[in-house]
């Protein structure tokens, strides 16, 4: 019998801001799942460089209205959000071994909390293996050229935040 159920995956994160590495993971996830929900964590106790609304707008602008992808925000437990969204999986990008320990711990906790949601790790393209939102923000702050590491809408926003940045 054919399984006609839509397979939904959540791609959660801070996305402060979205990078080309994140976009690469989203593209790979699209090949496996029918729908990918990019979910920005709304954490009132942690202020980022960008507001949650700014992050959502940058992601939407970078995805060009792709119907297979939904951009949303969540707070509280990720697995609870996944249950509400009827997701079968949580996607996380895995760059280097340094990511492994914390990701493994989070995946095991998530499984303990909800065994019906699988953690799926996707390896980013080699090109993006060293990129992260934090290192890009740090370089941008001091005028470092990060133009090929972030999508255009993010680059524009970073230039607004950091007057030194001119790429």
114 φ, ψ (degrees, to nearest 5): -155, 100
Indicate whether 109 belongs to the interface with ligand PNS (CB under 6 A): yes
| Residues 4 and 84 sit within 8 Å (Cβ to Cβ) | no
* CA–CA separation, 69 and 88 (whole Å): 15
Task: Report in angstroms how near the CB of residue 152 gets to ligand PNS at its nearest.
Answer: 21
- Cβ proximity to ligand PNS, 68 vs 102, nearer residue: 102
- Cβ proximity to ligand PNS, 86 vs 145, nearer residue: 86
Cα torsion angle, 6, 23, 39, 82, sign: positive
> Which residue out of 133, 137, 155, 157 is catalytically annotated?
133
* CA–CA separation, 119 and 109 (whole Å): 11
Indicate whether 12 belongs to the interface with ligand PNS (CB under 6 A): yes
| Residues 58 and 154 sit within 8 Å (Cβ to Cβ) | yes
Restricted to residues 21-80, the positions that interact with ligand PNS (CB under 6 A) are 41, 77-78
Which residues are part of the catalytic machinery?
22, 46, 95, 133
Binding site for ligand PNS (CB under 6 A): 12-14, 41, 77-78, 106, 109-110
């Amino acid at each position: 019998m054919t399984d006609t159920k839509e397979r939904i995956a959540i791609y959660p994160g801070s996305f402060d801001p979205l990078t080309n590495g994140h976009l690469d993971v989203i593209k790979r996830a699209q090949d496996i799942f029918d729908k990918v929900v990019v979910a920005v964590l709304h954490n009132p106790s942690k202020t980022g460089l960008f507001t949650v609304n700014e992050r959502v707008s940058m992601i939407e602008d970078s995805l060009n209205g792709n119907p297979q992808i939904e951009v949303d925000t969540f707070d509280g437990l990720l697995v609870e959000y996944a249950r509400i969204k009827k997701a079968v999986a949580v996607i996380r990008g895995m760059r280097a071994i340094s990511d492994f320990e914390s990701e493994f711990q989070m995946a095991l906790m998530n499984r303990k909390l909800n065994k019906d949601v699988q953690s799926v790790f996707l390896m980013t393209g080699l090109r993006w293996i060293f990129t992260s939102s934090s290192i890009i923000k740090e370089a941008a702050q001091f005028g470092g050229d990060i133009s090929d590491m972030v999508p255009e809408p993010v680059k524009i926003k970073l230039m607004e935040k950091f007057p030194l940045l001119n790429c």
